Amino acid sequence: MSKWYEDKTCDEGIVISSRIRLARNIKKYPFPEMLSKEQSEEMIKTLKEALINDRLPIAKDFEYIEVDSLPALNKRQLMEKHIISPELVSKNKPCGVLVNKDYSISIMLNEEDHVRIQTVFSGENIDKAWDLADKIDDVIEESVEYAYNEKYGYITACPTNMGTGLRASFMMHLPFLEREGQMQNILNAVNKFGVTIRGIYGEGSEALGSIYQVSNQVTMGQSEQEIIKNLKNVVSFIKEKETKLREECISKSKVDVEDNIYRSLGIIENARKMSGAEAMRHISNIREGYILGFKDLPQLKETIYSVMINIQPGNIGIADGKAVDVNKRDELRADYLRKVFK
């Protein structure tokens, strides 16, 4: 079963993927921060039972992963595949994730909130992601009573999620805006529409490989449909800016654009060691080349975005099941990339 990021759609345009996240809490339990070990276990059990049943046909595909009992390396791998959040990686209490086979659904239990429903699809598929998340949400609500207030909406551990508990986001590849130093302008512009831009692994993470998560900041005072519609408009605006700038750069100096792409290809095909940040930069450049339709680039079996995931430290830095040191990791990364781009 291939994963959502192995779908060719995520290589086809500026938008790599679309994601919905819903934050929910169960009325009868305190927030995860305040839960004892026993309460956590009970709460998780309740949620698992609410989800794995006949009312949700997709639930037969779910696998439950007890995250807190995993070795650090495996937690990191799940995070790099966008299955769990950095928050869940560092959690010390019982916690876990229900994940389906293509990783399009992952439901974190006992994260910052009791439930974090996440749905993600390659390309521009936010409506599809919303419909699926909404359905999962309904199924849970049939079994448990959510913490909900008529005036404020869904109650969440952090006030920034109150109301809808919705974070809709698009993962976007913005190499030209980044290179031309325009990301700050874009950020200022979209902030006015209640939208924010984060790095590839969410809040506080770097924008490795010119990849940015564009998501709604405001969760209250608007319906879910309004939030998604507004975000789509902002994403269209950013896409237009990136496309226009790309055309400008090409018309100003095509050879500079080409030089940048082919140099990255040459380095990727030949280097014997490479840091993650450097690799992301080169893969990003080569992705540009595919988007521009350059015919002489190697045809990959993998999607670009799955290569980006595969070279992250947790996924690449393993030999014989164990994490290796950073030097060895940089070698394994270069070896893998030479093979992929052969």
Q: Does 334 bind a second copy (CB under 8 A)?
A: yes
Size, binding site for a second copy by CB under 8 A: 17
Tokens of 25: 């809490």
Binding to a second copy by CB under 8 A, coded x per residue (else -) over 166-185, reads --------------------
Tokens of 134: 């909404």
Cα–Cα distance, 329 to 342 (Å, whole number): 20
Whichever of 42 and 258 has its CB closer to a second copy, that residue is 258
- Interactions with a second copy, residue window 35-54 (CB under 8 A): none
User: Is residue 95 helix, strand or coil?
Assistant: coil
Place of tokens 């339709």: 293
CB of 327 to a second copy, least distance (A): 8
Q: Does 273 bind a second copy (CB under 8 A)?
A: yes
- 65 bridge partner residues: 97
Binding to a second copy by CB under 8 A, coded x per residue (else -) over 205-234, reads ------------------------------
Evaluate whether 153 touches 60 at the Cβ level (below 8 Å).
Answer: no
How would you classify the pairing of strands 166-173 and 148-149?
unpaired
Q: Does 270 bind a second copy (CB under 8 A)?
A: yes
Task: Provide DSSP, 28-91.
Answer: TS--GGG--HHHHHHHHHHHHHHHSSTT-GGGGG-EEE-GGGS-HHHHHHHHHTTSS-HHHHT-
CB of 287 to a second copy, least distance (A): 16
Q: Does 268 bind a second copy (CB under 8 A)?
A: yes
Whichever of 66 and 259 has its CB closer to a second copy, that residue is 259
Q: Does 277 bind a second copy (CB under 8 A)?
A: no
At residue 242, what is the residue type? E
Cα–Cα distance, 212 to 220 (Å, whole number): 23
- Interactions with a second copy, residue window 248-267 (CB under 8 A): 255-256, 258-259, 262-263, 265-267
Evaluate whether 50 touches 144 at the Cβ level (below 8 Å).
Answer: yes
Whichever of 83 and 268 has its CB closer to a second copy, that residue is 268
Q: Does 272 bind a second copy (CB under 8 A)?
A: yes
Residues that bind a second copy (CB under 8 A): 255-256, 258-259, 262-263, 265-273, 331, 334
